[in-house]
A and B are shown apart, each in its own frame.
Chain A
Amino acid sequence: MKYVDDFRDQSLARRLARALAAEAEQGREYRLMEFCGGHTHAIFRYGVQDLMPANVRFVHGPGCPVCVLPTARIDQAIALTESHGVTLCTYADLMRVPGGDRRSLLKAKAQGADVRMVYSTQDALALARANPGRRVVFFAIGFETTTPPTAVALRQARAEELANFSVFCNHVLTPPALRTILASDAPDAVSIDGILGPSHVSTVIGSRPYEFVPRDFAKPVVIAGFEPLDVMQSALMLVRQLNERRCEVENQYTRAVTPEGNRKAQALMDETFALRESFEWRGLGRLPCSALRIADTYSKLDAERRFPVGLGESRQVKGCECPSILRGVKRPTDCKLFGTACTPENPMGSCMVSSEGACAAYWTYGRFRALQATEPGRAA
């Protein structure tokens, strides 16, 4: 398929692999954090690490919207359907994420809650139009990539005076999360040499918002596309920066990302959303100015104001290492629950739910590696 196969070409991949092998210096380790779950997924789905030198290692970051949503917000969404009888529209992944008491929206649905799976904000709007007697709430999650579509839906709903539609807003921002990980002085903080920057997020916010990374933390950033060749080329660009002791924001994903990003989308977001003082992230805790709420001028469309539901405490299943995995401190295989109590069919933590989650990617595509590495003569 044109424009897709081009970025998955095996001979180009081998050429990049040779360059990486030649340029990665022996006796030195390169720990590159891919911020986005989209990168994590591509790395595992295409088997990118099989083409990488052993001393260039990917560290998985927190850029998976479903993964970083705290359990308290899932509980809140369930309460919205059960206490206020709303019709909750959500993306499929989110339905399987366990809340504080391990109930998920999928389980709530089976017990009678009106939860609908949608593919876009437009599906939720259509449902509201078709059912004026129902109160339809769209469960909005995601980084800056999915925020503009929610903004468009808010604008449309206001223009159409769609009184039965509202949005449960959980949109979060990328730069504060990145800053938190880099600034961590915890004893177990992950050591990272460079960052593979977000691709889709950056199409919206541009490459400028990452300039604090080289400036404040002396780490190089390469904005990387989501195709496997993008990931390899970006890794090579990071290796080169590190070898040459350069430290800057470079853009590998030039076919979609500009320094200033999508101004129109940014203006739309400014109009419809306001910054929250703080927001809880699974794994990272409460981060100041790291998430969006619906702007006061759109308050009628804000489900949190229309259907007040208390925000409880977030609870983590005992033994679940999602928080450490989201910070890159641990690998999925370090978790005792991985593959025993926690599998994609019966997830205990969010990282096992989304296809962008590190645990799901490890389990679904890569678990043979850990097993075969321990069996003599069967090394992959």
Chain B
Amino acid sequence: MGRSERRFPLRLDVQRGAVDMTHGSGGRAMAQLVDELFKRHLDNDLLRQGNDQALFLPPPGRLVISTDGHVISPVFFPGGDIGCLSVHGTINDVAMAGARPLYLAAGFILEEGLPLADLARVVESMARAANAAGVPVVTGDTKVVERGKADGVFVTTTGVGVVPDGVTISGDLARPGDRILVSGSMGDHGVAVMSKRENLGFETEIESDTAALHGLVAAMVEAVPGIHCLRDPTRGGLATTLNELAQQSGVGMEIRESAIPVHPEVVAACELLGLDPLYVANEGKLVAICAPEDAEPLLRAMHSHPLGIGAAIIGEATEDPHQFVQMETGFGGQRIVDWLAGEQLPRIC
């Protein structure tokens, strides 16, 4: 290629450069950012079509679509960053319908002054996560806002997937007597992020559990196609997710505190901060509800997948017109596990 044929004579200075308003202007600077940063890392056939949309033939089956905005602070945290989180988060939302995720779209809102090195790190992380999951980012958008109007980078991802025939999973299908399972330890993500907040800054070994759960879901659906509900307990933690499902299905729930897996480090951090691990966010865990006779086969299927090794049956759905989620405490008493009131921790995902 001759000198005159180069589209951008000077390469983007990813080491020392920063996002400025021209990167969102629609002009040459933006085209260069898209080419040398986004396309370079996220490269795939559909993205290479180079259009404002990706064109593909949907496979047979029912399609699902989900979208998720990510505003986490800090952008980089133990065990992950906003890049992989935005891939995992949306894949998980799609997968919770029992679906096989196909493609992602990504919208970036960048704050003027964001170091290009940080942006590159985020995009590389997205690319790694998307490759590992086998769910490519096939279209996207970039906007830049003035300094102070955002906080570094916000990422919105949208995912589409297809649900296999014979699978119907929905939050309104829990029935009294159904068993409630979780795929592993609760609260890791929230505690990992909190440990890096500048005004908290405590030492912990805990890393975010951020992970794409569609592989685990596929194994679960194969073992028990009749799973009733699946949901990932992100913001608001397990407590909030159980309350959502109880309300949607019109049932109560009875769980046992001693059966809920929580890492001792998470318990310790929560003790220190006055938080309850049941309300702390997860990004690589799911809650499943199934008929009582399916519980053991489902648990075995979860245990045989790397992301479900810590799975446990934590309780059951009950008949309760008040739709209370109640818990037998480790101490031997009884209490409600209520909806989260107020804001426990802003910008956790």
Contact = CB atoms under 8 A, between A and B. Distances in A.
B329 A46 contact: yes
Interface string A360-380: 100111111001000000001
Interface in B176-201: 199-200
A10 B336 contact: no
Given A46-B329, A364-B338, 16 more contacts: A10-B331, A13-B331, A14-B332, A46-B331, A47-B329, A47-B332, A49-B333, A96-B342, A126-B199, A228-B333, A360-B341, A363-B338, A368-B324, A368-B334, A368-B336, A371-B322
Contact of B333 (A50, A344, A360, A371): A50
Interface stretch (B229-237, B263-271, B294-302): B263-271
B60 interface: no
Nearest to A52: B333
Contact of A368 (B199, B264, B273, B322): B322
A137 B335 CA distance: 38
A344 B343 CA distance: 11
Contact of A4 (B271, B333, B335): B271
Interface of B: 199-200, 264, 267-268, 271, 273-274, 322, 324, 326, 328-336, 338, 341-343
Contacts of A126: 199
B contact face: mostly helix, strand, loop, or mixed: loop
A1 B330 CA distance: 13
A371 B343 CA distance: 27
21 contacts: A1-B264, A46-B330, A47-B332, A47-B334, A49-B333, A50-B332, A50-B333, A51-B332, A51-B333, A92-B342, A92-B343, A123-B199, A126-B199, A228-B331, A343-B341, A355-B274, A363-B338, A364-B341, A365-B335, A366-B335, A371-B322
B342 A344 contact: yes
Interface of A: 1, 4, 8, 10, 13-14, 44-51, 92, 96, 118-119, 123, 126, 228, 343-345, 355, 360, 363-368, 371, 380
Determine the main DSSP class of A at the interface with B. helix
B326 A368 contact: yes
Contacts of A46: 329-331, 333, 335
B200 A119 contact: yes
Nearest to A50: B333
A48 B331 contact: yes
Contacts of B274: 355
A363 B199 CA distance: 31
A50 B333 CA distance: 5
Contact of A8 (B200, B322, B331, B338): B331
Contact of A45 (B200, B324, B326, B335): B335
